[in-house]
């Protein structure tokens, strides 16, 4: 008879979870795109000063979208969890987190909260680094179970 898998020990707090590979790709592409468009704007001799500025403005706008996409993260500390998604930040106490879910096919982790809602956590996503996301989800689940109400009742 096989032994059940042991729960991982919770990580030392504070800890930050974020999709590092995705972040590196997004920021690198944003920087390369900005540099390329700006260089093209400066090298094209027929462009007026206003047109050059519009090229650089467009490059900055496109790059800022990629920076925004690289923003998600989860910061866990003694008091709770801060979930930073694309445009929102939400602070949760440990007792508010009932369960940490990452089911097969989910694009990111979901937190089941004590108010009956579910909060997407884009800072843990299995898209590019599945093993890292699973490990991060397990670590966050272990923290929630030891510090909050946890999922032991289910």
Q: Which residues contact 40 (CB under 8 A, 6 or more apart)?
A: 55
According to the model, what pLDDT value does residue 153 have? 39
pTM here is: 0.82
According to the model, what pLDDT value does residue 5 have? 54
The class that CATH gives domain 72-147 is mainly beta
* Tokens coding 98: 């009932």
Q: What is the pLDDT of residues 85-131, one digit of tens each?
A: 999 999 999 999 999 999 999 999 999 999 999 999 999 998 888 89
Q: Name the band, by pLDDT with cuts 50, 70 and 90, for residue 147.
A: confident
- Domain ranges in the chain are 21-69, 72-147
Q: What is the mean pLDDT of residues 131-137?
A: 93
Residues paired with 114 in a beta bridge = none
Q: What count of residues does the chain have?
A: 154
Closest CA to 144 of 109, 102, 110, 95: 95
Task: Determine which helix (DSSP H) or strand (DSSP E) holds 138, and give its type and residue range.
Answer: helix 130-147
């Amino acid at each position: 008879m096989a032994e059940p898998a042991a729960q991982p020990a919770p990580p030392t707090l504070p800890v930050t979870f974020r999709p590092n590979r995705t972040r590196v790709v997004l920021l690198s592409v944003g920087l390369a795109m900005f540099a390329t468009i700006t260089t093209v704007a400066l090298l094209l001799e027929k462009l007026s000063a206003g047109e050059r500025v519009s090229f650089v403005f467009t490059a900055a706008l496109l790059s800022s979208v990629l920076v925004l996409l690289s923003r998600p993260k989860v910061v866990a500390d003694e008091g709770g969890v801060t979930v930073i998604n694309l445009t929102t930040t939400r602070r949760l106490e440990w007792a508010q987190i009932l369960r940490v879910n990452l089911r097969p096919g989910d694009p990111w982790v979901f937190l089941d909260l004590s108010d009956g809602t579910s909060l997407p956590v884009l800072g843990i996503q299995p898209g590019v680094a599945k093993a890292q996301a699973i490990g991060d989800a397990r670590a966050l689940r272990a923290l929630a179970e030891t510090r909050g109400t946890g999922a032991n009742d289910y």
